[in-house]
Amino acid sequence: MKGILLVVCMVVSGIAQAQDAEKGLKDFYKDYFTIGVAVSPRALKTDEAELIKKQFNSMTAENAMKSQPIHPRENEFNWKDADSIAAFAQRNNMKLRGHTLVWHNQVPDWFFTDNGKPVSKEKLLERMRTHIQTVVGRYKGKIYAWDVVNEAISDKPDEFLRKTKWLEILGEEYIAKAFQYAHEADPNALLFYNDYNEIDPGKRAKIIRLVEGLRKNNVPIHGVGLQAHWALNEPSREQLEQTLSDFSKLGLNIQITELDISVYPKEHSARDPKAEDAKADFSDEKQQKQTAIYKMCFELFRKYKSSITSVTFWNISDRSSWLDNFPVRGRKDYPLLFDANLKPKSAYWEVVKF
Ligand code: GLA
């Protein structure tokens, strides 16, 4: 009798495993939130495309919709890459997040100069409006959520807004204006403020202050994007729980927009390589620590499912990640759930085990 029971159990668990292998992250999480991935148009032409279709139901353009690539000169828009990502999402019934309209990085200089001189406030506002309305307008109905303003909060404890050209020329109101223009271009799009270091209590308080201020002034903002570029040593469970609890009290959509977990201790600035950086293997120890952090993050994401509406990974697999060149140029990192052969890592199996 016992023997038969054992065989039955083995068969049943074998079937369950086979079924799990058929499923993707998006299926495991269908009652929780969409699962997204940041992509380049090039990746969509490789074997990574099949992985994307199986595992994810949302996409973000890693670079193609940033102002430098999409609007390189005042009278020139470069739609090719962004269009190909939007078409892939449509063909495969995936949601699409837009990233990002107003940021201090990857923005071309022409925005801020006029015949070799600094641009006037009026002209810059006009350029910002044209940029936002043209880009948002083109993808109206195709992009359901936009990161309207990215990283406007300062990391310095005694500074509220980051000192950028946008702030310098337009003053604080540039943020509200950006949301207003985006809303005019697509009244149905969900509009997000997106930032990093959200687990730091001081930075978090400033992000919340900014968002609450915008809402008080009836600025059309619908969500906060937490980038979630994390690492083996952070966040702790307490830190992440506090972060999600604080943001969920805003009563807006919370989206995890750029998740990755570096296998190196977090460093926030680029630096030159050191001797120990040569040891860049994905050791068992790193793998175990990373698996535990991913497990903990998704436990808490599930706990906050009434606020969290999407979790997006920043890049597809360990084949290539921006972290291979940041903070140390050329140091291989392994921050994602799929290895370089596109096989699920042990972290993947913990993320889907619930
Ligand atoms: C920030 C930006 C992203 C991306 C990452 C690093 O988080 O929002 O667009 O550039 O940095 O690649």
Ligand 1 center to 63 CA (angstroms) = 8
pLDDT digits (tens, 9 = 90+) for 102-160: 999 999 999 999 999 999 999 999 999 999 999 999 999 999 999 999 999 999 999 99
pLDDT exceeds cutoff 70 at 13: no
Ligand 1 center to 302 CA (angstroms) = 24
Which pLDDT belongs to residue 42?
A: 97
The string of DSSP codes covering 139-163 is TTTT--EEEEEES-B-SSTT-SB--
Predicted TM-score (pTM) of the model is 0.95
- Which residues have CB under 6 Å of ligand 1? 99, 150, 196, 227, 258, 322
Single-letter amino acid, residue 88 = F
Which pLDDT belongs to residue 21?
A: 82
Ligand 1 center to 326 CA (angstroms) = 11
151 is annotated as an active-site residue: yes
Q: Is the CATH code 3.65.10.10 the one for domain 24-266+274-352?
A: no
pLDDT exceeds cutoff 70 at 11: no
Distance between CA atoms of residues 179 and 218, nearest Å: 10
pLDDT digits (tens, 9 = 90+) for 29-85: 999 999 999 999 999 999 999 999 999 999 999 999 999 999 999 999 999 999 999
22's tokens? 């058929």
172 is annotated as an active-site residue: no
pLDDT exceeds cutoff 80 at 25: yes
243's tokens? 């972060």
pLDDT exceeds cutoff 70 at 353: yes
Cβ atoms 268, 110 nearer than 8 A: no
Which pLDDT belongs to residue 1?
A: 58
Ordered by start, the domain boundaries in the chain are 24-266+274-352
